[in-house]
């Protein structure tokens, strides 16, 4: 099953994707949003009950919100693809590197990614994300995937000149982290390492890799994070980006206003955005 967060007549809601449409589950209750439905443990039952219903809206007509509009945490793994580490000239990491993104970076599919006026170095990084399904603390790697509700896509928009002196700054400019378009439930993706990521800039393929190239895989990341803090339902765990980012190219390739960016991941879909210059 696939679920989406979106606006219906100006009101935030969520729904089950059925064909080319969406069944509004927020309007049907009892949960107002996807995060609450995940936390309740009722999501799969709600989806199954709504599967035969007629869609309330077409996917082409809705305004997409981030898959989880207000996650408690957005954790991101850095330097986590072997080929990306090599292209950037880094040493192969011995330990997992992590940073946080603020909710203010997030926006939805078909939205506008803002290139900040203080920099010309806005980079693209297409990433697979796991969505945490239940409160998680001190979970083993063997059991970590049992704590995943589903998977979605993010662009980790990186302002590279700011990132050189502050990772937190470079990763947290407003509206640089599109998240979506949908969450595919974990039962449909039993082995996320078999997924494939393709990022396109203005139609040209700029990243193309299998998730099996991760240095630290999803079970490891979730287990590691659960040692640090209690993961909450709806938390986003971004797993890193493969080779091909603009910073690793010669000459370097930065996004600019008017660019069209998309990230496609098998079994999830395609997250598409337009880049605009900050005014």
pLDDT of residue 82: 83
* Domains of the chain, each with CATH number or no CATH: 2-64 (no CATH), 74-277 (3.90.850.10)
Give ∠ CA 53-57-59 in degrees, rounded to 5. Answer: 110
Q: What proportion of the chain, given as a percentage, has pLDDT over 90?
A: 94
Res. 88: pLDDT tops 80: no
Average pLDDT of span 148-164? 98
pLDDT of residue 89: 78
Res. 151: pLDDT tops 90: yes
Q: What is the pLDDT of residues 57-78, one digit of tens each?
A: 999 999 999 999 999 999 999 9
Average pLDDT of span 246-256? 96
Q: Which residue in this structure is represented by tokens 């589903």? A: 150
| C-alpha–C-alpha distance, residues 192 and 211, integer Å | 7
pLDDT of residue 84: 77
Q: What is the pTM of this model?
A: 0.97
pLDDT of residue 83: 78
Average pLDDT, the chain: 97
Q: What proportion of the chain, given as a percentage, has pLDDT over 70?
A: 100
């Amino acid at each position: 099953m696939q679920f989406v967060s979106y606006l219906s007549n100006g009101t935030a809601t969520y729904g089950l994707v059925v064909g080319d449409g969406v069944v509004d589950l927020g309007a049907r209750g009892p949960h107002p949003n996807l995060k609450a439905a995940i936390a309740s443990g009722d999501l799969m039952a709600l989806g199954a009950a709504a599967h035969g219903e007629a869609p309330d809206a077409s996917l082409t007509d809705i305004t997409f919100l981030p898959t989880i509009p207000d996650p408690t945490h957005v954790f991101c793994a850095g330097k986590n693809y072997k080929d990306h580490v090599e292209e950037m000239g880094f040493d192969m990491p011995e330990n997992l590197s992590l940073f946080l993104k603020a909710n203010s970076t997030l926006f939805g599919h078909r939205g506008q990614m803002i290139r900040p006026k203080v920099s010309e170095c806005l980079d693209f990084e297409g990433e697979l994300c796991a969505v945490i399904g239940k409160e998680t603390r001190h979970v083993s790697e063997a059991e970590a995937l049992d704590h995943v509700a589903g998977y979605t896509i993010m662009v980790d928009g990186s302002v590279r000149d700011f990132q050189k002196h502050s990772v937190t700054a470079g990763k947290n400019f407003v509206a640089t982290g599109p998240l979506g378009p949908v969450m595919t439930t974990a039962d449909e993706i039993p082995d996320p390492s078999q997924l494939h990521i393709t990022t396109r800039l203005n139609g040209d393929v700029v990243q193309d890799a299998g998730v099996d190239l991760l240095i630290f895989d999803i079970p490891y990341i979730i287990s590691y994070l659960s040692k640090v803090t209690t993961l909450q339902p709806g938390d986003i765990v971004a797993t890193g980006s493969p080779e091909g980012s603009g910073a690793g190219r010669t000459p370097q390739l930065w996004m600019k206003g008017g660019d069209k960016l998309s990230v496609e991941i098998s079994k999830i879909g395609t997250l598409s955005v337009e880049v605009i210059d900050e005014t």
